[in-house]
Amino acid sequence: MEAMKETVDLSLREMRETFASGRTRSVKWRKTQLKAIIEMVKDNEEKMCDVLFQDLGKHSTEAFRDELGFVMRSAATALNSLDKWVVPRKSNLPLLFYPATGKVISEPYGTVLVLSSWNFPISLSLDPMIGAISAGNTVLLKASELSPNASAFLAKTIPSYLDNKAIKVIEGGPDVATILLQHQWDKIFFTGSPRIGKIIMAAAAEHLTPVTLELGGKCPTIIDHHSVSKDIMSIVKRISGGKWGSCSGQACISVDYVLVEQSFASSLIEMFKPVIKSFFGENPKESGCVARIVTKKHFQRLSRLLNDPRVQASIVYGGSMDEEKLYVEPTILLNPPLDSEIMNEEIFGPILPIITLRDIQESIGFIKSKPKPLAIYAFTKDEKLKTRILSETSSGSVTFNDVMIQYMCDALPFGGVGESGMGRYHGKYSFECFSHEKAIMEGSLAIDLEPRYPPWNNFKLTFIRLAFCEAYFKLVLLMLGLKR
């Protein structure tokens, strides 16, 4: 580990020197790096798909949709928008400050640490990097050891395309992360579990380092079948695709469980069965369209959740597992015990509990009884229910009548609240995430208001009272001696 400590020290020193030189502040430099990211993905599409298959068993189409295509779009958006993003924003100052002027400029934090996750190892590494580069920072990426092939690819390939004095990649496990967190950074960006997020935040507090934490949680899906009965098959397909078609449910924004009225639960389950077969065939394990569980440790965690006898009794579809192939069949549970482990931790796998309620309006209270999720999904055309969801619950985002698409939309901020995270990114929000917004005010020496200075008297107190209220007409009267 001494060698790694020395590597980190040298890397950090070189990155700080590069930032201090001012090179990364240049818009030209930023655009060059963004273009290089796009070029890197285009040049290495097949290799990237290969490493994603090796690490997670992802089909190349899924890999392009969720990772490669997403990264290229993110970089292209930043490239095309950067000239607008960097322009100082004028502020409309109150008349009281005339003739002073104000503006806000976005300046880079400096040296940024990005701690990436294993479930989307390409996009969750490069997308935060795009934001940090757009804002003019130097970046050190710690790629996840749980996706070793993707991490090795990034460590080998990024230096060939990007400025390797400003942008660096380090591989390694928790020991390496510990070393990195012992150093002072200007900004830390982390994607992962709430448990590790707390460790990151505690380490950042030692240096008062700002952090963005993209965590997770149990994302509920409400189905109000009364108002969407004509579209129910489309709803089942969207939930199935979101749950089992994106890294086999190993996604922070994946559907974690479904809330539905008891009277509709049996019909819903029967609708899921043919959709799952149409997506993944009679034998999903051999379909090539179901990602595998990332490691044996994660497989054993899912196995433990399912092997609870009370949970086993709730299985209504699927449930088979193959530890050798790290495969868990798409599985549906009906009313597993609410005090079971599977209903009190993020599932992060291809298991879908369906929880029944007497009335769908009860879903609001159910969600409020849990920690704030990263996302709430609700299939409903009932405007009153939509209003209740928005006004009575708290979550990172709410998506009506679809699942997971909010992540792909860079016009909206993506981030959590409470246990599901803090901070936001994507599109311009990524630029803002890695920028300090500095207030600039330029005063004038042409006018000097005596009421701002001692000695104090009633006239000055009255002036200040009126100034705070922006009562300009009364201020004029006071100055003319017509008001006391």
Active-site positions read 214, 252
The amino acid at 129: M
Lookup result for tokens 């806000």 = 104
Distance of CA 463 to the CA centre of its chain: 48
Sorted by sequence, the CB contacts under 8 Å of residue 398 that are 6+ apart come out as: 375, 376, 377, 378, 389, 390
* Residues in Cβ contact with 107 at an 8 Å cutoff, skipping those fewer than 6 apart: 136, 435, 436, 438
459/463 Cα distance (integer angstroms): 6
Q: Would you say 224 and 382 are in contact if contact means Cβ atoms under 8 Å apart?
A: yes
CA–CA separation, 97 and 459 (whole Å) = 19
CA contacts within 13 A on the Cβ side of 53: 12
**Within 10 A of 230 (CB to CB), how many other CB atoms are there?**
8
Q: What are phi and psi of 415, to 5 degrees?
A: 175, 170
Backbone phi, then psi, for 112, in 5-degree steps?
A: -110, 140
Cβ neighbours of 134 (radius 10 Å): 32
